[in-house]
Amino acid sequence: MNLKKFTLALLLSFLALFTSLYTAPLQAADNVFIVQDVKTEATAKSAVVAREIAFKRALEKSFALLTRRMVDSEQQKEMTQPSSDDIANMVLDFEITSEKSSNTSYRATYTIRYNKDNIRDFFASQSVNYTDVSGQRLLVLPFIQIQNQTALWNEQNPFLKGWQDATTNTDTLTQIIVPINDLQDMMDIKDHEALTYDVEKIKRMVSRYNAKEAVIIIASPQAGLANLRTSPVNLYIYKTDKGRPEYINTITVKPSNRKDIVQNSIVQVKRFLQEEWKRKNSVSPQEQSRLYNIVVRYDNIDQWQASKNLLEQNIGKNNITIKSLRLNEATLQIDYNGSVERLNLSLSRKGFSLRPVGAGIFEFYKEK
């Protein structure tokens, strides 16, 4: 038995131990590298052999999902899919959340957590860009354009209900949120305010939904609302993070006998937003790491430890050097493969950020 096969066999041998001992830590880790709800099954001459085949399939399936999550579609085409044995060497641990077997078959659902450094090294070996920064929560405001007027809360808008009913994809980095259409929502943005909204009210709405940004989608049926199901729909996409509507793309969806045009529109917009996030926040394996000096201020030892742990989770323990440590202040030097803006995106998930306080010096602080 070669080393790679021995590694896979070893993982399977300790399957019961991982299942019984490893539960809560999986959820506490960085979920970018956790692939959940991986279902596979196999039939063979015995349940033991079927279990091994099913696990190999789970590795291959989970790695494909992880790649789709972290690498944009164009870069994915340039990659070579590793074997199940190679994937096993990148697995940190895993859990079986359900299983069923017979004399000759095995079926299971897995949660697989990957080693961050091994995954980054693999993408570097493939010379592809990737992002390991979890996506922000996006508040989507799906308007429909009827003649020269827009509508959001109007009952004639099928896109609002379509977005509200759409299921959340847990394999993506960006979480999509849709307003519930209560009185406060209707006070913050009105039907005719798709591109003339009150900036402060939009900020209030974004904050209320615990989102980072609102994205406005204007669906415009080319042949009018009466022919929505039988004519193309133009979807105009606007970002709002700069205080004003900023046009970023138009997607045209054509009718299909197999797919409802509203649902198809939602799928295509979601795909675009995910791809946009990956392109915007990806890092190149060839990019040189940079040194940053970070000042951390704290009132007590618990605050210092919490701040240090958070930075280590986002940067890596081995990439942080403590330059000085005083009663209420520490100075750290970090070696980071990316810009401060990219690091801020990662930190902001936990409510923290960095701001410049001098030449090459940044303060670590809690966002309000």
Q: Which domains does the chain have, with CATH numbers?
A: 3-125 (no CATH), 137-280 (3.40.50), 290-366 (3.30.70)
The structure tokens listed for 315 are 């940067």
Query: What are the structure tokens assigned to 163, written together?
Result: 């977005």
Q: Which pLDDT score is estimated for 24? A: 38
Q: Which long-range contacts (CB under 8 A, 24 or more apart) does 147-152 make?
A: 147/224, 149/191, 149/192, 150/191, 150/192, 150/193, 150/194, 150/195, 150/218, 151/191, 152/189, 152/190, 152/191, 152/194
Residue 13 has pLDDT above 50, yes or no: no
Identify whether the C-beta of residue 242 lies closer than 8 Å to the C-beta of residue 166: no
20-51 pLDDT, tens per residue? 334 334 433 457 899 999 999 999 999 999 99
Choose between 284 and 344: higher pLDDT: 344
pLDDT of residue 129: 84
Convert the pLDDT of each residue in 149-177 to its tens digit.
999 998 889 999 999 988 666 666 678 89
Provide mean pLDDT across the span 129-150: 85
**Residues 6 or more apart in contact with residue 155 via CB below 8 angstroms:** none
pLDDT value of residue 252: 96
Mean per-residue pLDDT, 325-346: 82
Alpha carbon 299 to its chain centroid, in Å, reads 33
